[in-house]
Structure 1
Amino acid sequence: MRTSVFNAAARRCKRLCTGGCTRGVRIAPSSVMRRRFSIILGLFLAGFTIHAERGWRPLWNGRNLDGWTTWMRQPEPGSELPGLTRDADGKYVDPIGSGRDPLKVFTVVADTDGRPAIRISGEVFGELRTKASFKDYHLRLQFKWGAKRWPPRDQPGVPRDSGLLYHVHAEPGAEGRTWARSIELQIQEHDVGDLYAVGSAIAVRAKRRAGTQPALYDYDPAGEWTFFSQSQGSPGRCIKQPDNEKPTGEWNTVELICLRDESIHIVNGKVVMRLHSPTRINGDTPTIVTSGPIILQSEGAEIFYRDIEIRPINAVPPEFGQER
C-alpha cells in the first residue's frame, strides 16, 4: 500500500514537472519524501518571512504629512517671515508655533533617488512629531544629507545636524524649550547614534575619555553604568561606538529598538549603543518613561528621510540581542 501511494505521487509529479523530472523514471519513495519535505519546508519558511515582514507598517505614508504635526521656534534673523514680530535688534520675538509652516521647512519630495522622501530644509529649528505615541517597538528609517545649510550651521567645519527624539514626554515649546524632554538618537555628521538625554536621564555602560574636561564618555559594553542627564552643566551626551556612518551624501539606515526600559541605537545594521532606564526628571519623583511620540528635528541643515517604518515587539530581535 505504501509503495502504491508513493508511485501515485511520482506519477503526479511527472505530469506536473517540466524539465526538473525525467519522463518515465520511477521515483523512489524516499526521494518523494525528501522532495515533499523540501517543498513544505520552503513554503513554511517563505510564509514565515512574509509574516515577519507584515509586522512592519509605514510610519509615514509616502504622500503627505498626515499623522504628523509641526512646531518651530523663532526663525534666525536672516529668514524673511512677514507678520512675525521682530525686536529692536531685528531678532524674531515669537515662535512660529504649532501647525504653521510658512517657510516650507517640512515638505514631501515625490522623487529622491527614485523614491518619495520627507525633506527637512533646516531653515528654522523645530520638530516634526508623530501624533501617536509608541511603546515596545522597532523603528527603522533611512536618511541622507542635503546640500543646504542655515545659520548657525552654515559655517565651514560645523557638522550638519538633525536628530531622532523618542520617549517624548512634553508638549511642543513647553517650558520655553526648543527640544521637548525626551531621549535623542543623534543624527549629526560623524555622530550618528550618539545619545543626548534631552531634559531627561538615562543609563549607559560607558568609559570616560582620558584627559577630557568637561568629561567625554564613550559607549563601552564592558564599561561602568553611568547616568547621563542635561543638568548641572552636563550636556547629557554619550558617544556611540563604533562609528558605522556612511559618507555624507549616501543613504544611511537608522534603527531604534525600545522595549520596556531598554533601548538600542543601530546604524547601518550595527548596534552602536544600548541604553537602560529612561527617566523623567521634571516631576516630583523621577519616573521611568517607556513610551511617547517620535520627533524628527529640523536643526540648521537640509536632510531627507524615507522608508520610515515601525513594528510592535515583545522581545529584542535576535540579530540585535545582547553582545557576547
Structure 2
Amino acid sequence: MKSVKFILALLFCAVFFGFTTGNKKDEWKHLFNGKDLTGWDTYIGPDLDNNGKPIADKPIGLNNDPRHVFTVVKDGEEKVIRISGENWGAIITKSEYQNYHLQLQFKWGALSWGQKKGKHKDSGLLYNSVGKFGADYGAWMRGQEFQIEEGNCGDYWGCAGGMADIPAIKKSDTAYVYSPTGTLTEFSQQSKQGRHCIKLGDGENQSGQWNTLDLYTHGDTSVHVVNGKVVMVLYNNRQLDNGKVIPLTKGKIQIQSEGAEVYFRNIQIQPVKQLPAELVHL
C-alpha cells in the first residue's frame, strides 16, 4: 500500500511537470507501422441489436472482418487506423508487454451505431490483456481498461475479472472518483463498489481534435495520462482467474471498437525500469 506522501507527489508532479519516461534514452518501438495492421490481430464479437443484445450465438471471430471495421486510411498526408465502431471488438497486439510507457493519439469520427448511436462516443485502451478472446461482453479479453469515451477519457474499468486498488472518494452509492488523497479502494466485479472508477478532472480535447494518451505500467502499478494530465493511478493490478486472485502485470494491448468511429495514430511503446522519477520526488 503506497504512502500518502507518494500519492501527493504523484498529484504535484502531474500538475506542474506533466509525465515523461523514466528512461535516460528513448527506446520507442512503433506498434503501428503507418501502412497496415501488421503485428495486430482483430476480433469481433456477435452482432448486437440496438439494445446491445447478441443477435447470434457465435462471434464473428478472430481475423474475420467482413464489414471492414478495422482499416488503415489516409488522413491528410498520413495513414491512420480507422475503427468504424459498427461491431464490438478490438485490434489486439500479437505480443505481450510488461513494464512500459505506451503512447498513442486518437480523435473521434462522426459515426455511431446501435445502442451507442447519439450518445457519448466510446472506445477504449485495454492493457495487461490475457485469457480468451471475447471474455468481456463477447468482444474483449480480460484486462484493465483505460477508458476512451467522450467526457470520460481516463476512467478505469476492470474487464472480465480485472481488479485494482485505487485511492478514491465516494460521490454516490454507485460513483467513485479517483483522488490522490482518497481511500485506497478495491474495484472489481465482486466488490460492492463495482469495477468502474471515474477519472480526476477532464483532460480531453474538443471532439474532432487529436488527443495524446500516455499509459505507464510498472510492476503492479499503472497510471493513465490524458494530454499530459494524470487522471488515474491503479495499484495492485490483479485478476480473478478460476476463483483465484493472481497478479495481472503483463499482457497484450487491445484497442476497442465499441459503437463509435474513431481514429488512431502514432502508437508507440518503450520499456521502463521504474515510474518516472519526477513523479515520486518533489
Structure 1 length as normaliser, TM-score?
0.75
1:236 match? 195
Identify the residue that residue 57 of structure 1 maps to in structure 2: 29
CA-based RMSD = 2.0
**Per-residue deviation at 1:166?**
0.5
Consecutive unaligned residues of structure 1, counting only runs of 5 or more, are 1-50, 79-88
1:257 is aligned to 2:216: yes
* Larger RCO (CA under 8 A, 6+ residues apart): 2
| 1:2-48 Cα shifts (integer Å, max 9, x gaps) | xxxxxxxxxxxxxxxxxxxxxxxxxxxxxxxxxxxxxxxxxxxxxxx
Task: Indicate the SS of the match to 2:208.
Answer: coil
- Structure 1 distance, partners of 2:103, 2:194, is 26
**What amino acid is aligned across from residue 168 of structure 1 in structure 2?**
S
Question: Is residue 220–residue 238 contact of structure 2 (8 Å, CA) maintained in 1?
Answer: no
Q: How big is each residue's C-alpha offset from its partner over 1:249-271, in whole Å with a ceiling of 9 and x where there is no partner?
A: 10000010010111000000111
Which residue identity does 1:318 align to in structure 2?
A: A
| Pair 1:137-2:137 in alignment | no
Could you tell me how far 1:323 is from its partner in structure 2? 7.8
Matching residue of 1:322: 280
Q: What is the aligned partner in structure 1 of residue 5 from structure 2?
A: none
The letter of the residue matching 2:85 is G
Task: State the structure with more CA Rg.
Answer: 1
**1:10 alignment partner in structure 2:** none
Tell me, what secondary structure is at the counterpart of 1:281? strand
Looking at structure 1, the residues matched to 54 and 229 of structure 2 have their Cα atoms a distance apart, in angstroms, of 46
Q: Is 1:91 the equivalent of 2:55?
A: yes
| 1:306 aligned onto 2:265 | yes
When structure 1 is superposed on structure 2, of 229-238 and 217-226 the one drifting more is 229-238
User: Higher helix proportion, which one?
Assistant: 1
Secondary structure of the residue that 2:185 maps to in structure 1?
strand
Q: CA deviation at 1:232?
A: 6.1
| Percent identity between the two aligned chains | 39
Deviations 1:144-187 (A, max 9, x none): 000011111113xx100000001112121248743221100000
Q: Give the match for residue 118 of structure 1.
A: 81
Amino acid of the residue matched to residue 88 of structure 2? F
Task: After TM superposition, list the pairs within 5 Å mapping 1:2-13 onto structure 2.
Answer: none
* Distance across 1 between alignment mates of 2:257 and 2:108: 12
- Partner SS, residue 135 of structure 1: coil
Counterparts of 1:67 and 1:159 in 2: how far apart (Å)?
30
Amino acid at match of 1:69: D
Equivalent in 67, 72, 86 of residue 103 of structure 1: 67
CA contact (8 A) 1:196 1:235 kept: no
In structure 2, distance between residues paired with 1:268 and 1:208 = 25
Give how far 1:279 is off. 1.0
Aligned length: 256
TM-score (norm 2): 0.85
1:167 aligns with 2:128: yes
Q: 1:264 to 1:208 in 2, by over 3 A?
A: same
